[in-house]
């Protein structure tokens, strides 16, 4: 689900349909958005009952959680490669070679592994906010459209964009309620 549909495959397919993108968005990747969406898509598969075995669900969640520990451990708290490898090997099914490869990746791309879950948390938060504020008018497909329609926005811009959609939906709800004839007029 992460790499396939509805993860990166859908995300990239929608981005390719954009006629105009800000030039800055074309210069590089935005891991928080890109990996956050893919992690969120994994959750959609879980909601749909695709992960029917607890082991698959747990395995899917463990690697990014370890990345959230090891990445700052190396870059902010001074962990050595040996300490990071020991942590990875002790907390999961990492061989020494797999742990070494993970440490090399973390060293080469600081912050990238923390982006998976931090980006997903932003999207989960926006979804919860939309569900709460829009109530029965919340449409999951429309929410996904709003999240994906502008490509790999910085997360703060994604939040602004989705909140504008939420606010417009709330205004529409209030306007349609205000436009109803009152029972006194009948």
Beta strands in 79-133 (DSSP E): none
* Residue ranges per structural domain of the chain: 8-15+30-164
- Position 163 pLDDT exceeds 90: yes
CA distances (Å), 103 to each of 29, 34, 61, 64, 181, in order?
Answer: 21, 21, 18, 13, 65
Mean pLDDT over 12-36 rounds to 81
* pLDDT value at residue 21: 74
Asked if 162 and 146 touch (Cβ cutoff 8 Å), the reply is: yes
Q: pLDDT per residue over 102-155, tens digit each?
A: 999 999 999 988 999 999 999 999 999 999 999 999 999 999 999 999 999 999
Mean pLDDT over 50-70 rounds to 82
- Position 45 pLDDT exceeds 80: yes
Asked if 38 and 64 touch (Cβ cutoff 8 Å), the reply is: no
Q: How far apart are CA 166 and CA 144, in angstroms?
A: 13
């Amino acid at each position: 689900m992460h790499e396939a549909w509805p993860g990166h495959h859908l995300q990239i397919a929608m981005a390719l349909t954009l006629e105009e993108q800000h030039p800055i968005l074309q210069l590089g990747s935005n891991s928080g958005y890109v990996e956050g969406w893919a992690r969120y898509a994994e959750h959609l598969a879980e909601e749909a009952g695709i992960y029917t075995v607890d082991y698959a669900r747990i395995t899917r969640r463990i690697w990014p959680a370890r990345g959230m520990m090891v990445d700052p451990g190396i870059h902010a708290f001074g962990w050595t490669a040996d300490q990071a490898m020991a942590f990875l090997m002790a907390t999961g099914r990492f061989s020494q070679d797999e742990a070494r490869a993970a440490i090399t990746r973390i060293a080469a791309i600081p912050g990238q592994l923390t982006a998976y879950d931090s980006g997903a948390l932003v999207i989960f938060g926006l979804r919860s906010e939309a569900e709460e504020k829009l109530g029965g008018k919340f449409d999951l497909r429309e929410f996904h459209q709003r999240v994906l329609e502008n490509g790999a926005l910085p997360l703060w811009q994604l939040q602004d964009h989705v909140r504008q959609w939420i606010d417009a939906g709330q205004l529409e709800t209030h306007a349609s309620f205000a436009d109803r004839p009152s029972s006194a007029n009948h």
